[in-house]
Amino acid sequence: MRIALFLGMQLAVVLLVGIVSSVLMNLFSVHIDSMSYYSLLFLCMIMGSVGSVISLFMSKMMCKTAYKVKCITTPENSQEAFLLNTISALCAKEGIKMPEVGIYPSADPNAFATGATKDSALIAVSTGLLNSMSETEIKGVLGHEIGHIRNGDMVTMALLQGVLNTFVYFFSFIVSQIIVSAMQKNSDSRNSFARGASFYLINSLMQMVFGLIATMILMWFSRYREYKADAFSADLSGRMCMISALEALKRGVQPEKKEEQSYMQALCINGVSTVSELFMSHPPLDKRIAALKEI
Protein backbone atom coordinates (compact mmCIF):
# COMPACT_ATOMS: atom_id res chain seq x y z
CA MET A 1 0.00 0.00 0.00
CA ARG A 2 2.83 2.40 0.90
CA ILE A 3 4.61 1.71 -2.40
CA ALA A 4 1.35 2.20 -4.33
CA LEU A 5 0.65 5.49 -2.56
CA PHE A 6 4.11 6.84 -3.26
CA LEU A 7 4.04 5.74 -6.88
CA GLY A 8 0.80 7.67 -7.10
CA MET A 9 2.58 10.64 -5.50
CA GLN A 10 5.39 10.28 -8.04
CA LEU A 11 2.88 10.53 -10.89
CA ALA A 12 1.14 13.48 -9.23
CA VAL A 13 4.45 15.31 -8.80
CA VAL A 14 5.41 14.59 -12.41
CA LEU A 15 2.05 16.01 -13.53
CA LEU A 16 2.56 19.13 -11.40
CA VAL A 17 6.14 19.56 -12.63
CA GLY A 18 4.88 19.16 -16.20
CA ILE A 19 2.24 21.87 -15.75
CA VAL A 20 4.65 24.33 -14.09
CA SER A 21 7.35 23.75 -16.72
CA SER A 22 4.79 24.23 -19.54
CA VAL A 23 3.84 27.60 -18.06
CA LEU A 24 7.50 28.59 -17.75
CA MET A 25 8.29 27.57 -21.32
CA ASN A 26 5.32 29.50 -22.70
CA LEU A 27 6.28 32.51 -20.57
CA PHE A 28 9.85 32.53 -21.89
CA SER A 29 8.95 31.40 -25.43
CA VAL A 30 10.83 28.10 -25.24
CA HIS A 31 9.35 25.49 -27.57
CA ILE A 32 9.76 21.70 -27.29
CA ASP A 33 7.57 19.46 -29.41
CA SER A 34 5.04 17.38 -27.47
CA MET A 35 6.69 14.04 -28.16
CA SER A 36 10.12 15.23 -26.98
CA TYR A 37 8.59 16.98 -23.97
CA TYR A 38 6.75 13.93 -22.65
CA SER A 39 9.67 11.66 -23.51
CA LEU A 40 11.90 13.94 -21.42
CA LEU A 41 9.41 13.88 -18.56
CA PHE A 42 9.20 10.09 -18.66
CA LEU A 43 13.00 9.73 -18.91
CA CYS A 44 13.54 11.99 -15.89
CA MET A 45 11.00 9.97 -13.90
CA ILE A 46 12.80 6.73 -14.78
CA MET A 47 16.24 8.21 -14.04
CA GLY A 48 14.99 9.62 -10.75
CA SER A 49 13.22 6.50 -9.53
CA VAL A 50 15.27 3.54 -10.71
CA GLY A 51 18.40 4.37 -8.74
CA SER A 52 16.55 4.93 -5.48
CA VAL A 53 14.49 1.74 -5.87
CA ILE A 54 17.60 -0.32 -6.66
CA SER A 55 19.42 1.13 -3.65
CA LEU A 56 16.40 0.28 -1.49
CA PHE A 57 16.48 -3.38 -2.49
CA MET A 58 20.26 -3.53 -2.15
CA SER A 59 20.40 -1.61 1.13
CA LYS A 60 20.51 -4.63 3.43
CA MET A 61 23.30 -6.32 1.50
CA MET A 62 25.24 -3.06 1.20
CA CYS A 63 25.00 -2.35 4.92
CA LYS A 64 26.03 -5.88 5.87
CA THR A 65 29.10 -5.56 3.67
CA ALA A 66 30.00 -1.97 4.59
CA TYR A 67 29.66 -2.47 8.35
CA LYS A 68 30.86 -6.10 8.45
CA VAL A 69 27.63 -7.11 10.19
CA LYS A 70 27.59 -10.50 11.87
CA CYS A 71 24.02 -11.83 11.78
CA ILE A 72 22.87 -13.73 14.87
CA THR A 73 20.75 -16.84 14.57
CA THR A 74 21.80 -18.72 17.71
CA PRO A 75 23.10 -16.52 20.57
CA GLU A 76 26.62 -17.28 21.71
CA ASN A 77 26.63 -15.12 24.85
CA SER A 78 24.34 -13.18 27.18
CA GLN A 79 24.56 -9.96 25.11
CA GLU A 80 23.40 -11.69 21.95
CA ALA A 81 20.65 -13.51 23.84
CA PHE A 82 19.42 -10.21 25.32
CA LEU A 83 19.47 -8.60 21.88
CA LEU A 84 17.47 -11.37 20.21
CA ASN A 85 14.98 -11.74 23.07
CA THR A 86 14.34 -7.99 23.36
CA ILE A 87 13.80 -7.47 19.63
CA SER A 88 11.59 -10.55 19.47
CA ALA A 89 9.44 -9.32 22.38
CA LEU A 90 9.11 -5.78 21.02
CA CYS A 91 8.25 -7.01 17.52
CA ALA A 92 5.67 -9.44 18.89
CA LYS A 93 4.11 -6.59 20.86
CA GLU A 94 3.67 -4.60 17.63
CA GLY A 95 2.78 -7.56 15.41
CA ILE A 96 5.89 -7.12 13.26
CA LYS A 97 7.78 -10.01 11.70
CA MET A 98 11.09 -10.70 13.44
CA PRO A 99 13.85 -8.94 11.46
CA GLU A 100 17.37 -10.18 10.97
CA VAL A 101 19.53 -9.15 13.91
CA GLY A 102 23.22 -8.38 13.68
CA ILE A 103 26.21 -6.86 15.46
CA TYR A 104 28.97 -4.90 13.79
CA PRO A 105 32.40 -3.87 15.09
CA SER A 106 32.57 -0.16 15.99
CA ALA A 107 33.59 1.73 19.11
CA ASP A 108 30.84 4.31 18.49
CA PRO A 109 27.49 3.60 20.17
CA ASN A 110 25.17 3.27 17.20
CA ALA A 111 22.44 1.17 15.58
CA PHE A 112 20.47 1.13 12.35
CA ALA A 113 17.51 -0.54 10.64
CA THR A 114 17.31 -1.18 6.91
CA GLY A 115 15.61 -3.40 4.36
CA ALA A 116 13.25 -3.15 1.40
CA THR A 117 10.11 -4.17 3.32
CA LYS A 118 8.87 -4.63 6.88
CA ASP A 119 9.12 -8.38 6.44
CA SER A 120 12.72 -8.34 5.23
CA ALA A 121 14.32 -5.86 7.59
CA LEU A 122 17.64 -5.88 9.42
CA ILE A 123 18.46 -4.33 12.78
CA ALA A 124 22.16 -4.04 13.55
CA VAL A 125 23.85 -2.59 16.62
CA SER A 126 27.48 -1.70 17.21
CA THR A 127 29.71 -3.41 19.75
CA GLY A 128 30.29 0.06 21.20
CA LEU A 129 26.58 0.42 21.93
CA LEU A 130 26.35 -3.00 23.57
CA ASN A 131 29.41 -2.33 25.74
CA SER A 132 28.60 1.23 26.79
CA MET A 133 24.84 1.17 27.43
CA SER A 134 22.65 -0.44 30.05
CA GLU A 135 19.96 -2.93 29.03
CA THR A 136 17.29 -0.26 29.59
CA GLU A 137 19.08 2.17 27.26
CA ILE A 138 19.63 -0.52 24.64
CA LYS A 139 15.94 -1.35 24.78
CA GLY A 140 15.13 2.28 23.99
CA VAL A 141 17.45 2.22 20.95
CA LEU A 142 15.94 -1.05 19.71
CA GLY A 143 12.44 0.40 20.08
CA HIS A 144 13.54 3.36 17.95
CA GLU A 145 14.82 1.07 15.18
CA ILE A 146 11.65 -1.04 15.30
CA GLY A 147 9.77 2.24 14.93
CA HIS A 148 11.55 2.86 11.62
CA ILE A 149 10.51 -0.61 10.44
CA ARG A 150 6.94 -0.20 11.67
CA ASN A 151 6.62 3.20 9.97
CA GLY A 152 8.10 1.94 6.69
CA ASP A 153 10.74 4.66 6.76
CA MET A 154 13.19 2.84 4.49
CA VAL A 155 10.62 2.62 1.67
CA THR A 156 9.40 6.17 2.25
CA MET A 157 12.89 7.66 2.13
CA ALA A 158 13.80 5.76 -1.06
CA LEU A 159 10.62 6.79 -2.89
CA LEU A 160 10.87 10.39 -1.72
CA GLN A 161 14.42 10.42 -3.06
CA GLY A 162 13.07 9.20 -6.40
CA VAL A 163 10.47 11.97 -6.55
CA LEU A 164 13.07 14.61 -5.71
CA ASN A 165 15.50 13.23 -8.30
CA THR A 166 12.77 13.58 -10.95
CA PHE A 167 12.27 17.19 -9.88
CA VAL A 168 16.02 17.90 -10.10
CA TYR A 169 16.58 16.34 -13.54
CA PHE A 170 13.50 17.78 -15.22
CA PHE A 171 13.61 21.33 -13.88
CA SER A 172 17.37 21.52 -14.47
CA PHE A 173 16.77 20.72 -18.14
CA ILE A 174 13.86 23.16 -18.55
CA VAL A 175 15.56 26.06 -16.76
CA SER A 176 18.76 25.45 -18.72
CA GLN A 177 16.79 25.57 -21.98
CA ILE A 178 15.22 28.86 -20.92
CA ILE A 179 18.59 30.41 -20.03
CA VAL A 180 20.33 29.20 -23.21
CA SER A 181 17.44 30.45 -25.39
CA ALA A 182 17.60 33.85 -23.69
CA MET A 183 21.37 33.99 -24.21
CA GLN A 184 20.98 33.06 -27.87
CA LYS A 185 18.44 35.84 -28.45
CA ASN A 186 20.88 38.39 -27.08
CA SER A 187 23.75 37.09 -29.18
CA ASP A 188 24.45 36.98 -32.89
CA SER A 189 26.15 33.59 -32.56
CA ARG A 190 24.30 30.55 -33.94
CA ASN A 191 27.17 28.14 -33.28
CA SER A 192 25.65 24.80 -32.30
CA PHE A 193 28.81 23.72 -30.45
CA ALA A 194 28.75 26.88 -28.32
CA ARG A 195 25.05 26.35 -27.61
CA GLY A 196 25.67 22.73 -26.61
CA ALA A 197 28.60 23.64 -24.37
CA SER A 198 26.59 26.44 -22.73
CA PHE A 199 23.66 24.10 -22.13
CA TYR A 200 25.94 21.45 -20.58
CA LEU A 201 27.57 23.92 -18.17
CA ILE A 202 24.30 25.60 -17.19
CA ASN A 203 22.52 22.25 -16.78
CA SER A 204 25.32 21.02 -14.50
CA LEU A 205 25.00 24.18 -12.40
CA MET A 206 21.21 23.89 -12.26
CA GLN A 207 21.46 20.26 -11.12
CA MET A 208 23.69 21.43 -8.27
CA VAL A 209 21.25 24.19 -7.29
CA PHE A 210 18.11 22.05 -7.48
CA GLY A 211 20.01 19.15 -5.91
CA LEU A 212 20.81 21.37 -2.92
CA ILE A 213 17.11 22.21 -2.53
CA ALA A 214 16.17 18.52 -2.86
CA THR A 215 18.74 17.57 -0.22
CA MET A 216 17.28 20.08 2.26
CA ILE A 217 13.79 18.63 1.68
CA LEU A 218 15.06 15.06 2.09
CA MET A 219 16.97 15.91 5.27
CA TRP A 220 13.93 17.70 6.70
CA PHE A 221 11.90 14.53 6.23
CA SER A 222 14.71 12.43 7.68
CA ARG A 223 14.72 14.56 10.85
CA TYR A 224 10.93 14.29 11.02
CA ARG A 225 11.08 10.48 10.87
CA GLU A 226 13.67 10.46 13.68
CA TYR A 227 11.26 12.33 15.96
CA LYS A 228 8.51 9.87 15.01
CA ALA A 229 10.75 6.86 15.74
CA ASP A 230 11.72 8.37 19.10
CA ALA A 231 8.05 8.84 19.98
CA PHE A 232 7.29 5.28 18.85
CA SER A 233 10.02 3.91 21.11
CA ALA A 234 8.77 6.03 24.01
CA ASP A 235 5.32 4.53 23.56
CA LEU A 236 6.67 1.00 23.08
CA SER A 237 9.38 0.87 25.76
CA GLY A 238 8.60 3.85 27.97
CA ARG A 239 9.50 7.53 27.60
CA MET A 240 12.31 7.52 30.16
CA CYS A 241 13.80 4.47 28.48
CA MET A 242 14.19 6.38 25.20
CA ILE A 243 15.36 9.56 26.94
CA SER A 244 18.03 7.56 28.76
CA ALA A 245 19.12 6.03 25.45
CA LEU A 246 19.52 9.46 23.82
CA GLU A 247 21.41 10.80 26.82
CA ALA A 248 23.73 7.79 26.61
CA LEU A 249 24.27 8.47 22.89
CA LYS A 250 25.07 12.08 23.73
CA ARG A 251 27.68 10.99 26.25
CA GLY A 252 29.14 8.55 23.74
CA VAL A 253 29.73 11.05 20.89
CA GLN A 254 33.47 11.49 20.51
CA PRO A 255 34.35 15.13 19.63
CA GLU A 256 37.12 14.13 17.22
CA LYS A 257 34.62 12.08 15.19
CA LYS A 258 31.78 14.57 15.00
CA GLU A 259 32.80 15.71 11.52
CA GLU A 260 32.49 12.26 9.99
CA GLN A 261 29.57 11.81 7.62
CA SER A 262 28.64 9.23 5.02
CA TYR A 263 25.62 7.95 3.13
CA MET A 264 25.39 4.93 5.43
CA GLN A 265 25.45 7.05 8.59
CA ALA A 266 22.10 8.57 7.61
CA LEU A 267 20.59 5.19 8.57
CA CYS A 268 22.04 5.23 12.07
CA ILE A 269 20.34 6.45 15.22
CA ASN A 270 23.26 8.72 16.07
CA GLY A 271 23.66 10.92 12.98
CA VAL A 272 26.03 13.86 12.67
CA SER A 273 26.34 16.91 10.42
CA THR A 274 29.19 18.93 8.97
CA VAL A 275 27.28 22.04 7.85
CA SER A 276 24.09 23.13 9.59
CA GLU A 277 20.83 21.72 10.82
CA LEU A 278 19.26 22.21 7.36
CA PHE A 279 21.52 19.46 6.02
CA MET A 280 21.38 17.15 9.05
CA SER A 281 19.79 13.73 8.60
CA HIS A 282 19.14 13.62 12.37
CA PRO A 283 18.02 16.39 14.74
CA PRO A 284 20.48 17.38 17.49
CA LEU A 285 20.24 14.98 20.44
CA ASP A 286 19.28 17.84 22.78
CA LYS A 287 16.25 18.66 20.63
CA ARG A 288 15.20 15.00 20.48
CA ILE A 289 15.41 14.73 24.27
CA ALA A 290 13.43 17.97 24.71
CA ALA A 291 10.73 16.71 22.30
CA LEU A 292 10.31 13.49 24.33
CA LYS A 293 10.06 15.42 27.59
CA GLU A 294 7.11 17.35 26.12
CA ILE A 295 5.13 14.19 25.33
Active site residue ranges: 145
Q: Could you tell me where the DSSP H helices lie in 113-191?
A: 127-132, 135-150, 153-185
